[in-house]
Amino acid sequence: MPVQNRDARPATSDAFVAFVHAYQDMVFSIAARMTGNDTHAQDIAQEVFLKAYDHFAQLRTSPAAGGWLKTVTTRLTLNYLSRYRRRWQLFSELRAEDAAAAEDPAPEFAADDPVQADVESHQRRVLIEQALRELPEHQRLPLFLYHFEELSYEQISRLLRISLPKVKTDIHRARAALAKALGEQL
Amino acid sequence: MEHRELERSVDAALRAQPMRRAPPGLTARVLEQIERRRAAPWWRKGFLHWPWAARGGLLLASAAAAGLAVAATTWLAEAVRSAPVPEALGRFASALHGAATLASTLGRTAAELLPAASPALLHFAAIGAMLAYALVFGIGAIAYRTLYLNR
């Protein structure tokens, strides 16, 4: 069934579905690791792909589509988190949603082959994801941006609008917390 | 563990981490949302999605409203300047003056009484005020949870 994007150029739904399938793991991974919450990550991923749909005429043939999606996901996640933080958390969703995050099912990985996956390395990956999820947001975000997005301390400081020493301290504490959680497995 | 060694180990562990698998329903959610957005009437979409005639109409109506607001303000200013202050405004000004006098009297009385009060009494008063604040805060929180969150 053909669908129309904003520019009214025809775009087959098959092409867009293939596009979503190709990038959904990447978009979801970024959002899930930044928020530490799979439910939030799904909402963000949906928002990202709706934006991608609006620009699909350009993105479908662009070699930079992956980079565009990465940037948009990071930006939308930061916006999402700052909106969430601004809410009156004391009374509302904070406890309920944190409880929901704690109840998120064990993460699945795109690269895992259920037959050949090495059980030990799979458990280690799950342990790392859980340790990341349990970090406080002010440590998880800079750690993610430094190690996964390869941003410098200065770039993170500008992006998150926090001082350079605080970025360094938070990242160091996050690494120490991960090392403690992973123990011998690190 | 040394700073550098810790950074290297964490970096290696995180970089080796494969991507998470997206939930199976994500594509369906996105397509459903696109369909819902497409089915929405034009006036519920963003301005850029409106038909040209509607966009032009809104711009014209906005310009007319702005013109009317400017004309009304000018007319009101002229009317106030030329006519005596209406009685209602006079009553309002007098009530305002009364409130200011009351506030000033209360302030003067407090300034005279406070130096004479014992520190213990001041502490009790401060604790009382904090308790009253906490009580109102608690009632607000309970009302919010009961009336808003459980809707």
What is the radius of gyration, based on Cα positions, of chain A?
A: 18
Distances from the Cα of A100 to the Cα of A38, A95, A103, B49, angstroms: 9, 9, 5, 37
Cβ contacts of A24 within 8 Å, gap of 6 or more: A45, A49, B22, B26, B27
**A108·B3 Cβ contact <8 A:** no
Cβ contacts of A23 within 8 Å, gap of 6 or more: A52, A65, A66, A69
Tokens (6 digits) for A48: 């990202």
Question: Is the pLDDT reported for residue B30 higher than 70?
Answer: yes
pLDDT tens-digit map of B67-93? 999 999 888 888 777 766 666 677 787
Q: What letter would DSSP give residue A152?
A: -
The per-residue pLDDT string of chain A (186 residues; one tens digit each, 9 = 90 and over) reads 444 444 444 445 889 999 999 999 999 999 999 999 999 999 999 999 999 999 999 998 899 999 999 999 999 999 999 887 766 555 554 454 455 555 667 777 776 555 555 777 888 889 999 999 999 999 999 999 999 999 999 999 999 999 999 999 999 999 999 999 888 767
* Angstroms from A82 CA to nearest CA on chain B: 21
- Specify the pLDDT at position B29: 94
* ipTM field: 0.76
Residue A25: which of B27, B22, B14 has the closest Cα? Answer: B22
- pLDDT averaged over chain B? 85
**B19·A111 Cβ contact <8 A:** yes
Task: Mutation target for B interface from A26, A175, A182, A185: give the one with most B CBs within 10 A.
Answer: A175
pLDDT tens-digit map of B105-143? 988 888 887 777 777 888 888 899 999 999 998 888 888
pTM of the entire structure?
Answer: 0.65
Cβ contacts of A146 within 8 Å, gap of 6 or more: A152, A153, A156, A171
Give contacts of A16 with chain B, Cβ < 8 Å.
31
Q: Is the CB of residue A5 less than 8 Å from the CB of residue A58?
A: no
**B20·A90 Cβ contact <8 A:** no
**B33·A50 Cβ contact <8 A:** yes
Distances from the Cα of A173 to the Cα of A166, A167, B7, B135, angstroms: 10, 10, 11, 38
Q: Report helix, strand and coil shares of chain A as percent, to nearest 5.
A: 70, 5, 25
Q: What letter would DSSP give residue A92?
A: T
3-state secondary structure at position B95: helix
Q: A10-12 and A2-4: which strand pairing?
A: antiparallel
* Angstroms from A161 CA to nearest CA on chain B: 23
* Angstroms from B36 CA to nearest CA on chain A: 12
- Chain B residues with a Cβ under 8 Å from any Cβ in chain A: 1, 3, 6-7, 9-11, 13-15, 17-23, 26-27, 29-31, 33-34, 37-38, 48-49, 141, 144-145, 149
**A90·B6 Cβ contact <8 A:** no
**B6·A45 Cβ contact <8 A:** no
Tokens (6 digits) for A30: 């970024």
Tokens (6 digits) for B65: 């409203």
- Specify the pLDDT at position B110: 80
**B10·A148 Cβ contact <8 A:** no
Cα end-to-end span (Å), chain A: 49
Residues 126-185 of A with CB under 8 A from B: 128-129, 143, 147-148, 172, 175-176, 178-179, 182
Alpha carbons A126 and B78: distance in angstroms, whole number: 74
Of B1, B26, B31, the CB nearest to A24: B26
Phi-psi region of A91 (alpha: psi -120 to 50; beta: other; left: phi over 0): alpha
Q: What letter would DSSP give residue A87?
A: S
Closest-approach residue (CA) in chain B for A171: B7
Element (H, E) at A183: none
- Specify the pLDDT at position A4: 46
CB neighbourhood size of B75 (10 A): 10
Give contacts of A178 with chain B, Cβ < 8 Å.
10, 13
**Better-predicted residue by pLDDT, B37 or A42:** A42
Give contacts of A176 with chain B, Cβ < 8 Å.
6
Distances from the Cα of B28 to the Cα of A37, A44, A72, B22, B54, angstroms: 20, 15, 21, 12, 33
Distances from the Cα of A2 to the Cα of A14, A52, B10, angstroms: 8, 17, 46
